[in-house]
Amino acid sequence: MKNILFVASEGVPFIKTGGLADVVGSLPLCIDKKYYDVRVVLPKYMCMHAEWSSQLTYVTNFYMDYHWKREYVGVFKAEHEGITYYFIDNEYYFSGDAPYGDDVIFEIERFAFFSKAALSILPVIEFRPDIIHCHDWQTGLVPVYLKERFQGNDFFRGIKVVMTIHNLKFQGKWDKKTVMEITGLPPYFFTPDKLELFGDADLLKGGIVYADAITTVSASYAEEIKMPFYGEGLDGLLRARSGDLRGIVNGIDYEEFNPEKDPFIAHKYNAISFRKEKGKNKKDLQKTLGLEENDKTFVIGIVSRLTDQKGMDLIAYAMDKLCQDAVQIVVLGTGTDQYENMFRHFDWKYKGKVSANIYYSDELSHKIYAGADAFLMPSLFEPCGLSQLIPLRYGTIPIVRQTGGLRDTVEPYNKFESSGTGFAFLNYNADEMLDTIREAQRVYYDYKREWNKMVDRAMAVDYSWEVSAKKYQEMYLWLTD
């Protein structure tokens, strides 16, 4: 039996702001319990919903040397679906009405505290991991502290570390002098071969340098981040460590996203009954949003953050032309004012054809996954993306740009071989995107049998967490053999 400890800044169901929380909450459930004891360490945020915070029980507390003083470290515990979660409590660092803030120095200070505390609690809770699995820059100092401060203790000697990069854009960077003072790490660590990046200290870089294995959330993204365009200044280091770097695609919860049982959709369906039932969900979506009700109209869904990264500038450029076609467009999400207002404008201009829902609703997102024919996701870069995996499950055909996880999970349609699970374009170009959307329309309107066969293939692919978990287990085995 091997012990694995996940260390992360968020995890469902306790606290969530994005896809990281889904990974940290779902992956441990699917790791084989016969061979692995997986536990999770999270911060005890004051903003945690009472439904979950009420389930935490106090374990112990102690004081830890940190930032030139003795800091209180409280330890709480909860069991959820057979997984043990530990929570690090410190009111100064984890109060506030949101998990993350805008003050970069304070963010670095509190997650450096969290990283050191996550290691310090292990002898106290009497859990010695064979592998510590760290997630994103907030835990980048775990492998650094392990190497610098804890290796002298027999309890910690020989523990391996995995560093998973969910999005390389966020690295935890600030000036060296301040970070040295906050972390208490000696100057030896702040050199270009360790934590320094272009004169600053970079916490994620420290994690990558000192980890025994590095993963990211798709095979294509693992290759892309070795190139300057995607590498965010770390491409050289990632090329140097390419032997220890692998990409493993995230999964989705096949119970939560299941058109046969989904409580949010009007008409349940599966891979056999979708031909009869999916159109009824489309009419329900049209009725809910005040669109012209016609189950023959080609409906494009967009559920996304409305930002440049998600390709919204391409959509803005093509929107007027696209609205001349026999399509309806349904948008759900929030983001930058520019794109929120752009979609509101087209909702006003093409009433009954465009529906802009500038907020987030779990219920409406499920209705869009089930009721749309196609799902548009033209991202500039996409480490993994979960948004394209959900439509596949619902038989809603993704239209994506071939980058990162989108390239790995959506097989482009090939009419000569009658293969593929979606439509894809390569260059970050609005005209190319528009051509691809129009190709999808042609197949939908003129070759319905081909379209339905593509839906069959989309609903047959398996992107459940069980598949990803097997690949993580292979890596754990490789590290500990």
DSSP string covering 211-258? -SEEEES-HHHHHHTTSHHHHTT-HHHHHHTGGGEEE----B-TTTS-
Would you state the pLDDT for residue 379?
Answer: 97
The structural domains of the chain, with segments of one domain joined by +, span 2-251+466-480, 274-462
CB neighbourhood size of 57 (10 A): 9
For 359, phi then psi, to 5°, come to: -170, -175
CA pair distance 145, 334, nearest whole angstrom: 38
- Kindly list the distances between the CA atom of residue 150 and the CA atoms of 120, 123, 202, 410, in Å, as whole numbers in the listed order: 9, 11, 21, 44
**Whole-prediction pTM:** 0.93
The series of mean pLDDT values per 10 residues for the chain, 481 residues long, is 97 92 95 97 97 97 94 98 97 95 96 98 98 98 95 93 96 97 96 96 98 96 96 97 96 94 97 96 97 96 96 98 98 97 98 96 96 98 92 98 97 96 98 98 97 98 95 96 83
At 416, the amino acid letter reads: F
194 within 8 A of 203, measured Cβ to Cβ: no
**CATH numeric code, 274-462:** 3.40.50.2000
The reply to whether 2-251+466-480 and 274-462 are identical in fold is: yes
Would you state the pLDDT for residue 151?
Answer: 85
Q: In which residue are the tokens 């959709």 written? A: 265
Give me the count of residues in the chain. 481
* CB-neighbour burial class of residue 290 (10 A; exposed 0-12, middle 13-18, buried 19+): exposed
Would you state the pLDDT for residue 10?
Answer: 97
Fold annotation for 2-251+466-480: Rossmann fold (3.40.50)
DSSP string covering 104-164? HHHHHHHHHHHHHHHHHHHHHHT---SEEEEESGGGTHHHHHIIIIITTSTTTTT-EEEEE
Residues 138, 143, 147, CA angle at the centre, nearest 5°? 145
Would you state the pLDDT for residue 152?
Answer: 85
CA pair distance 119, 7, nearest whole angstrom: 10
